[in-house]
A and B are shown apart, each in its own frame.
Chain A
Amino acid sequence: MQARSPLKIQIAVLHALLIRELKTRFGSYRLGMAWAFIEPILQIAVFMGLFYFGGRDSVGGLELPLFLATGIAPFLYFQKVINQCMNAVTANTNLLIYRQVRVFDTFLTRFLLEAITSFIVLAGIITATWWLGYEVNFVNTLIFIYAYILLSILAFGLGLIFGTVNTLFPEIGKFIPTLLRPLMFISCTFFTINDLPSDAQSILLWNPLIHAFEFMRSSFSYDYNTSLLSLEYLEVWALMSLTLGLLVLRANWRRMLTS
């Protein structure tokens, strides 16, 4: 057998793990991939109903379904990355018997799969809104993609941290989903930061997710107010979370092999 380069091994392992995750995630349900669409669409529909009774059909210059899609879908993505990373190691313990498969690979695979799926879902929902006759204008695609990437890095870093904690200390890990649940209501998923009183704004703006979602929305309208937001703040969060996540993993991955 010839020695392969580390890069080749890495690619081979990611490929194998991706197929394994796809099979166990989507393969076992008859609706398969459709589930990835159903959850955000249902949530968007519920909020649309609420807004409809409230008599609003646009927020911050964006039509309602587009406004909700750019908050709810990315939030579900963020949540899913963390949930998937929490169990990345325990779900793959059997496969860590092969020396090619390292703990980091299990995290990376789950993250990549979620990043790709969720991006397709988000793009699909936005296309569907446009197809249904709502107004969808891309005025700054780059900021949309950049905010999505920063959100991804932030989620992956936190996923590494929470995943490590959950693998080594499952009792503490049980609290993490409970702590994350209220996040949906303080992350501007179905409202905009601009509509809030200034006291609330100054507190909520500490939440990096708001900056990600609001910047993504701003890419659909020239008039979207971004004066309160800071891309630098989001960048620092993303960078810190990934750095800390990688450090935590590096310090602990060997302990996770036998847990």
Chain B
Amino acid sequence: MITFKNVTKYYPTPQGRHYILKEVDLILPGDVNIGVFGANGSGKSTLMRLLAGVDFPNKGSIKVEGNVSWPLGLSGYQGSMTGRENAEFICRIYGKSKEEINEKIEFIKAFSELDNFFEMPLKSYSSGMRSKFSFAVSMAFDFDYYLIDELTAVGDKRFKEKCRETFDAKKGVANFLFVSHNLNELKRQCDIGIYIKEGKIHVHDSIDDAIAAYNSM
């Protein structure tokens, strides 16, 4: 369950305050997968950061029940470090033991299909390799809530199939919050849809309604 209590979030700009959220009171159920829409710059990523606890509202409070992931996307990695080093870093901050780290690293290496590139700095990766790597890292950890920020499955058909299977397996035990521009993807993965507009979060109880509302905007 996600609870917003009188949440206001803005960014100061030279033209005054730019509001993302304005006095939002909202409860989102904890047992559904949520798709997040919105135009570029409407605050989807900010919303993810707020939920992940790495950014804070200017007013009010947000509570998320259970373990929340970090905003899973293409950022959050250090370009000068290798794939292995980046993966190890995340394992360490999650307090994994040596054996657990080895286990996760093996999983990530196998899943990402990077082979030798796993030992190369991330900045030498192509964008496709980067998404594969990010995807593998994201799926290596167990959370109650996965915040997925534009982390779309890339690669060949087989790799996409593998990603879909992993998603489905996680769905049984965890919930997802998706940010994506790919409406088909959202349609398949999500139960309800929300979008941010003019400082408010609009909720639609079915993903199809949400897509229809979004398209008519």
A98 adjacent to B54 (CB under 8 Å): yes
Pick from A19, A96, A254: contact of B56, CB below 8 A: A254
A20 adjacent to B56 (CB under 8 Å): no
With A20-B78, A257-B54 as known contacts, state yes or no: A8 contacts B85, CB within 8 Å. Answer: no
With A28-B80, A97-B71 as known contacts, state yes or no: A20 contacts B89, CB within 8 Å. Answer: yes
Please indicate the chain B residues that have their CB under 8 angstroms from the CB of A254 in the complex: 55-56
Residues of B contacting A: mostly: loop
Q: Within 8 Å of chain B (Cβ to Cβ): is A15?
A: yes
Of B21-29, B91-99, B182-190, B198-206, which binds chain A?
A: B91-99
Docked Cα-Cα span, A97 to B90, in Å, equals 11
B75 adjacent to A99 (CB under 8 Å): no
Measured CB to CB, the nearest residue on chain B to A98 is B70
Give the total number of A-B pairs whose CB atoms are below 8 A apart.
66
- The size class of the interface chain B forms with chain A is 20 to 34
- The size class of the interface chain A forms with chain B is 20 to 34
Q: Within 8 Å of chain B (Cβ to Cβ): is A108?
A: no
A4 adjacent to B54 (CB under 8 Å): no
Please indicate the chain B residues that have their CB under 8 angstroms from the CB of A198 in the complex: none
Among B75, B88, B95, B142, max chain A CB count under 10 A is at: B95
Please indicate the chain B residues that have their CB under 8 angstroms from the CB of A12 in the complex: 92-95
Task: Give min CB distance, B76 to chain A, whole Å.
Answer: 4
Task: Give min CB distance, B21 to chain A, whole Å.
Answer: 15
B78 adjacent to A16 (CB under 8 Å): no
Please indicate the chain A residues that have their CB under 8 angstroms from the CB of B7 in the complex: none
Which 5 A-B residue pairs are closest in the complex by CB-CB distance?
Answer: A16-B92, A97-B76, A99-B53, A12-B95, A100-B93
